[in-house]
Amino acid sequence: MGTIIAVSIIFLSYFYRLYKYGLTFENKVYPNVFIDHQDFSGFTKSQVIEYFSKASKTFQDRRFTVFYKDQPVSTFSAVGINLKYDGETAAEQAYLIGRSSHRLSRFYQVFSSLTKIHKYQLLSNINYNHEPIEEFITKSEESYNKPARNALFKFENGKVTSFRNEVTGLKILSDKFLSDFDENIKDLKNGKYSKSIKLEYEVIHPEITLAQSNSFGIEEEIAVGKSDYTHSIPERVHNVILAASKFNGVLIPKDKIFSFVEAIGDISSLTGYKPAYIIKDGKTVLGDGGGVCQVSTTLFRAALNAGLPIVERHPHAYRVGYYENDSKPGFDATIFAPSVDLKIKNDTPGYILIQTEMDQENNLLSFHFYGKKDNRKIEITDIALWDVSSPPAPRYQDDPTLKKGITKQVDFPAWGSKASFVYKVYKNDQLAINEKYYSFYKPWQAVFLVGTAD
């Protein structure tokens, strides 16, 4: 009996001391409570919050750069997204150890904490303002997301009346980016975070491709030719647009020699062309169809870029400024029905579809060739220029369509020269075309029209 009493006294004495010890942690974190392996025994909640507030200062110089297709598109600073430790939550979680609303749990937590038979390990969180990140994603979706488009090919009366190449779509992986950004923030705690984050995307393929939409063997774009018609008068621009439209949707069969003159047909006021300045008998005069050679020049460039045989081509008599807006001299082609023509041959594996494009804002005309590529390789040398001669003195000629006192410049001085380039095409690594194209340009004078009308 005495032994039981003695043991009881010792037991009660132990719990009394434990109780008294526990009282010292009133309003404080109990012993053996760790946050991120740091012991917070005896800390008040405000002290825990202050600790993490100071720890957050280590983030102040952090910056995160977002890359899209290997290009930086945005940067987020720690200050800008209010990056910091969530000290309030950490303090609350630590303080609740031993203060559970459940009686048995509370007793066990207090006992195990005070006796240090159980270590309570907690983890802090890093918080940031998600709104700037979500705004960035929304803008990125607006900028980069685009739907896939099916190819369109409609053939009527010997011409393609509706055409559209397939367009591959793209979708930003928004959820993945938000998750990656969040994980990167979490990695700040272990120092393994990355200063750069990728904005990834997936490619969306169309259901119908160009190859599936037609029976002419047309699968893809094979070449583009461009020219810049800046400085053209409105009438010339009108004629360029009209002439280019004659070729939109034209199909060139395999092994067919294509004639520019035959395709364009009559060039006159009867077919909608306006008078624009042309060169006739050594003078600059108004004539129907001025500007059509802008179209033949663009077609010539497309044919070269496609590696097609050029059956017939004629340079202009002098260096026309329009054709040197975006090119060196020598890459022009004039036509004058019926004797002066531009002819090319389609020696590709299938039909060639011509699509023209007018960019009136930037004064650009483009010829797009669609067909089927083979393994041909094209080499075009740099232009050789020699026998360069200065332009003659300006010429002034009367114009009864302008009022007296008005002088209008309709032609610009051009230096005379000779030019050449070599055009080579290889098929199956064998030289198939080896042509040298010459252009002999006369020196040309500036021409001013002087009004004579009352």
Residues 270 and 241 in one domain: yes
- Tell me: the pLDDT tens digits for 71-96? 999 999 999 999 999 999 999 999 98
- Tell me: the pLDDT tens digits for 131-177? 999 999 999 999 999 999 989 888 888 889 889 889 999 999 999 99
Residue 71 lies in a domain: no
What is the rounded distance in angstroms from the CA atom of residue 302 to the CA atom of residue 356?
Answer: 11
Instruction: Name the pairing type of β-strands 220-228 and 364-371.
Output: antiparallel
3-class DSSP assignment, residue 184: helix
Statement: residue 18 has pLDDT above 70: no
How far, in Å, are 11, 15, 144, 284, 417 from residue 1 at the CA level? 15, 21, 86, 135, 130
Of 127, 153, 179, the one marking the end of a domain is: 127
Residue 78 lies in a domain: no
Residue 342 lies in a domain: yes
Statement: residue 21 has pLDDT above 50: no
Buried residues in 146-156 as b, exposed as e (16+ CB within 10 A): eebbebebebe
Residue 72 lies in a domain: no
Instruction: Name the pairing type of β-strands 395-403 and 447-453.
Output: parallel
Of 180, 210, 240, the one marking the end of a domain is: 210
> Which structural domain, as residue segments, surrounds residue 141?
131-210
Residue 14 lies in a domain: no
- Tell me: the pLDDT tens digits for 294-303? 999 999 999 9
Task: Record the tokens describing residue 411, joined without a space.
Answer: 């032609």
Average pLDDT over residues 329-340: 91
Residues 249 and 384 in one domain: yes
Task: Record the tokens describing residue 400, joined without a space.
Answer: 């009864």
Residue 12 lies in a domain: no
Residues 331 and 370 in one domain: yes
Residues 101 and 172 in one domain: no
Residues 370 and 233 in one domain: yes
Residues 224 and 257 in one domain: yes
Query: What is the CB-side half-sphere exposure of residue 338 using CA atoms within 13 A?
Result: 3
Is residue 49 within 8 Å of 91, Cβ to Cβ? yes
When divided into structural domains, the chain yields a total of: 3
Task: Record the tokens describing residue 181, joined without a space.
Answer: 């950004």
Residues 228 and 317 in one domain: yes
Q: What is the DSSP string of 342-396?
A: -EEE--SSS-EEEEEEEETTTTEEEEEEEE---S-EEEEPPPEEEEEEPPPPPEE
Averaged pLDDT score across all residues of the chain: 89
Paired residues of 384 in beta bridges: 420
Is residue 449 within 8 Å of 399, Cβ to Cβ? yes
Region of 393 (left: φ > 0; alpha: ψ -120 to 50; beta: rest) is beta
3-class DSSP assignment, residue 107: helix
Task: Record the tokens describing residue 101, joined without a space.
Answer: 């609303």
Task: Record the tokens describing residue 39, joined without a space.
Answer: 């012991």
Confidence of residue 410 (pLDDT cuts 50, 70, 90): confident
Residues 264 and 394 in one domain: yes
Is residue 386 within 8 Å of 251, Cβ to Cβ? no
Statement: residue 14 has pLDDT above 80: no
What is the rounded distance in angstroms from the CA atom of residue 208 to the CA atom of residue 346?
Answer: 26
- Tell me: the pLDDT tens digits for 270-296? 999 998 867 666 566 676 778 999 999
Residues 281 and 171 in one domain: no
Statement: residue 427 has pLDDT above 50: yes
Residue 74 lies in a domain: no
Of 160, 187, 210, the one marking the end of a domain is: 210
What is the rounded distance in angstroms from the CA atom of residue 131 to the CA atom of residue 110?
Answer: 41
Q: Considering only CA atoms, which of 184, 170, 172 is closest in space to residue 138?
A: 172
Residues 414 and 290 in one domain: yes
Residues 184 and 45 in one domain: no
Q: Indicate the range of 18-27, 49-58, 319-328 predicted with least confidence.
A: 18-27
Paired residues of 409 in beta bridges: 448
What is the rounded distance in angstroms from the CA atom of residue 324 to the CA atom of residue 229?
Answer: 9
Confidence of residue 358 (pLDDT cuts 50, 70, 90): very high
Q: Which residues neighbour 102 within 8 Å (Cβ) at sequence distance 6 or greater?
A: none
- Specify the pLDDT at position 155: 84
276: number of Cβ within 10 Å: 22
E strands in 129-174: 152-156, 159-164, 169-172
Average pLDDT over residues 336-355: 93
What is the rounded distance in angstroms from the CA atom of residue 193 to the CA atom of residue 187?
Answer: 5
Residue 347 lies in a domain: yes
Is residue 438 within 8 Å of 384, Cβ to Cβ? no
How far, in Å, are 154, 235, 260, 432 from residue 157 at the CA level? 10, 30, 19, 35
Task: Record the tokens describing residue 450, joined without a space.
Answer: 């002087």
Residues 416 and 289 in one domain: yes
Average pLDDT over residues 417-427: 97
